[in-house]
Amino acid sequence: MTGSIVLFGPPGAGKGTQASIIVDLTGKPQISTGDMLRSSVSKGTELGLEAKTYMESGKLVPDQVIIGLIEQRLEQSDASGGVLFDGFPRTIPQAEALEKITNVSAVISIEVPDDDIVSRIVGRRMDPETGEIFHVSFKPAPTEIQGRLIQRKDDTEETVRNRLAAYHEQTKPLGDWYGERGLLIPVDGSGTIEEVGNSVEAAVKSL
Ligand code: AP5
């Protein structure tokens, strides 16, 4: 398959957790706008300074900033056979801009009720050395690395509520937009990490 795949879903649905299955099956590189923005914030670039306030309050970063970031990333040679987008597009204007620069072949939508999202996000921890995502209850890290785990600044209960509100207002309608185009593949994201992984794998193999 030459086109790109979009991994879609609410914050904390498990997009980052499941992305490696799709990367392994398709060989497409993962492009996470959240990771790219966090890298810019930690380097203190102009873009990072602009994005920081939005991210820490749980609001979406303006479309033009994100679209510019993606346009630049897609110019790199590893993107020529299509990529896996994780956390992008998140608005209809972002999807319309994407249509002009790459062909999207499928949108895998991980669907999780709001009630499960808060506990997933508040318990998330990340290994800064490997980027691996853990959870204090659902995916505990090995004891020897627990001391170096970090918690994202936007993973507080208050910010999660804002992120969910932004999802329902600005991002969820995009799921319907892709559904109307026959590209949306819904996956039940409410099971265990392994169960959701099996469903994601089946979805990719059906393409
Ligand atoms: P971003 O980094 O994209 O955050 P997000 O969409 O809110 O998604 P997350 O990374 O929080 O969740 P995830 O679905 O990857 O879940 P994970 O696998 O980690 O964006 C951050 C911010 O950047 C945005 O708020 C915005 O400001 C900005 N931004 C980024 N892209 C943008 C764009 N395109 N436009 C505008 N602004 C943009 O899992 C979560 C936790 O749950 C983990 O601890 C995991 O172990 C656990 N878990 C996963 N699956 C399960 C399961 N099945 N059962 C139990 N626990 C599970």
With contact defined as beta carbons under 8 Å apart, do 24 and 204 qualify? no
Q: Is 5 in the pocket of ligand 1 (CB under 6 A)?
A: no
Nearest-CA residue for atom 47 of ligand 1 = 120
Q: Is 15 in the pocket of ligand 1 (CB under 6 A)?
A: yes
Radius of gyration of the chain (CA): 16
Cα-to-centroid distance, 75 and ligand 1 (Å): 25
Query: How many other C-beta atoms lie within 10 A of the C-beta of residue 94?
Result: 22
Which residues does the annotation mark as catalytic? 15, 90, 124, 152, 163
Q: Is 58 in the pocket of ligand 1 (CB under 6 A)?
A: yes
Instruction: Find residue 6's DSSP bridge partners.
Output: 85, 107
Cα-to-centroid distance, 17 and ligand 1 (Å): 9
Q: Is 109 in the pocket of ligand 1 (CB under 6 A)?
A: no
Helix (H) or strand (E) holding 175: helix 172-180
State residue 32 phi and psi, 5-degree precision: -105, 115
Q: Is 52 in the pocket of ligand 1 (CB under 6 A)?
A: no
pLDDT for 25 equals: 97
In tens digits, the chain (207 residues) has pLDDT values of: 679 999 999 999 999 999 999 999 999 999 999 999 999 999 999 999 999 999 999 999 999 999 999 999 999 999 999 999 999 999 999 999 999 999 999 999 999 999 999 999 999 999 999 999 999 999 999 999 999 999 999 999 999 999 999 999 999 999 999 999 999 999 999 999 999 999 999 999 999
Is this structure's pTM higher than 0.75? yes
In the block, tokens 């991210």 appear at 55
Instruction: Find residue 85's DSSP bridge partners.
Output: 6, 31
Cα-to-centroid distance, 147 and ligand 1 (Å): 22
Strands (E) located in 76-204? 84-86, 104-111, 124-126, 133-135, 184-188
pLDDT for 87 equals: 97
Query: How many other C-beta atoms lie within 10 A of the C-beta of residue 77?
Result: 6
Planar angle of CA 188, 107, 35, nearest 5 degrees: 90
Please classify residue 22 by burial: count the beta carbons closer than 10 Å to its beta carbon, then call 0-12 exposed, 13-18 middle and 19+ buried. Answer: buried
The two three-digit tokens of residue 88, written as one number = 């992008």
